[in-house]
Amino acid sequence: MAATKDRRIGGPDLEVSKLAFGMYRTNTKSEPLESMELVKAAYDKGINFFATSDNYGTEMLLGRAIQEHKIPRDKIVIATMTGLPITQRHQAEFEVNTSGKRIVAQVEKSRKLLGVDTIDLYQTHAHDGNTPMLDIITVMNRLIEEKAIRNYGFSNYTTNNIIEGIRICKENGFREPVSLQNWYNLMGWRSEDSVKTAMGSGMTLLAYSPLANGFLTHDSVQASRVLDKLATEKNAIESVRLENDIRKELRKLDDMAVNEGRNIQQLSLAWLMGRENTVPMLGAYTREHLDDLAQSMDWVLRTEQVDFIERVRNKIHKIYGELVNAVNGSG
């Protein structure tokens, strides 16, 4: 099956599928051969966009999958990034390094591991407060001139980071970043302002964790969180109540999806795919999981469905704010 390409990142040169296949934790959730089969299965389903990072430990796996399954290089788009410590990706605190020296060195390593001459999209994994934005953008533009990368973007950047980057590009005549890879989904607002800023500048949103780390799934929303019998604090009790209130709202969306012969995880992806310049990044660790999520690619939500989703989302947003206050003890 040919890739279903209807998204463009940075103009006509990067044409990608509605969904991206994210390689985060693929090597820890699946066996290597199974992971390679998933890459081929995703491609066969019309997904041509594969995203990894130098600290995921999956660049070589992706490169091997492309080579061994004879996936045509000119038919796929490969994204990777750098900035986080290679051996500390699960630690809460770490030092970000996107210096020019680090970027150049890691681009060379990633090209070798992926088995490619040019990386289609190269991103900085997080904002580095110790490296001037001008240095980052200068080296990215040089790498484009050298054909080591085709385009560049940012990940986990704030509104101010994005504004600064765009300003520097305009002032110096540099190629601008084409993507923002941030945590974004139906119930999450951590990136709302930065997403609006990026998209207002023509950048494409690569939405990672589109299912909110598994929260936006049928089994999850149909369940209810049970209060620990030992919990007696007011904030703990309130937090559980509010979390269950969020699930009640999400069940409305799941019920709507079920009436269409779908489920809420497919709805969550379809909603993101229906947004302008947005590509959700699915993470599938089994063939069954991939088959389920890939069905979202042919679901175009009707206007009244989108309106209903937005109303529920606004209600969840309000409850989510109350939940944050309860967790922080300010409710």
pLDDT in 10s for each residue of the chain, 331 residues: 444 557 889 766 789 999 999 998 676 566 678 889 999 999 999 999 999 999 998 999 999 999 999 999 999 999 999 999 876 554 555 689 999 999 999 999 999 999 999 999 999 999 999 999 999 999 999 999 999 999 999 999 999 999 999 999 999 999 999 999 999 999 877 788 999 999 999 999 999 999 999 999 999 999 988 766 555 677 778 888 898 999 999 999 999 999 999 999 999 999 999 999 999 999 888 999 999 999 999 999 999 999 999 999 999 989 988 887 877 765 4
Do 132 and 223 lie in one domain? The reply is: no
Do 56 and 186 lie in one domain? The reply is: yes
Please state the pTM of the whole predicted model.
0.92
| In contact, 297 and 36? CB cutoff 8 Å | no
C-alpha torsion sign, points 35, 39, 42, 47: positive
Do 117 and 241 lie in one domain? The reply is: no
Do 178 and 296 lie in one domain? The reply is: yes
Do 190 and 49 lie in one domain? The reply is: yes
Do 67 and 151 lie in one domain? The reply is: yes
Q: Where are the alpha helices (DSSP H) in 173-260?
A: 192-200, 218-222, 234-259
Residue 295, burial from CB neighbour count under 10 angstroms (0-12, 13-18, 19+) = middle
Do 318 and 225 lie in one domain? The reply is: yes
Do 192 and 75 lie in one domain? The reply is: yes
Q: Where are the alpha helices (DSSP H) in 25-180?
A: 26-29, 32-44, 59-68, 100-114, 133-145, 159-172
Output the pLDDT for position 13: 74
Do 39 and 143 lie in one domain? The reply is: yes
Q: Where are the alpha helices (DSSP H) in 260-302?
A: 264-273, 287-294
Do 32 and 139 lie in one domain? The reply is: yes
Which residues make beta-bridge pairs with 180? 154, 205
Total domains in the fold of the chain: 2
User: Domain containing 39 — which CATH number?
Assistant: 3.20.20.100
Do 51 and 13 lie in one domain? The reply is: yes
Do 14 and 156 lie in one domain? The reply is: yes
Task: Give the domain range for residue 223.
Answer: 218-262+301-331
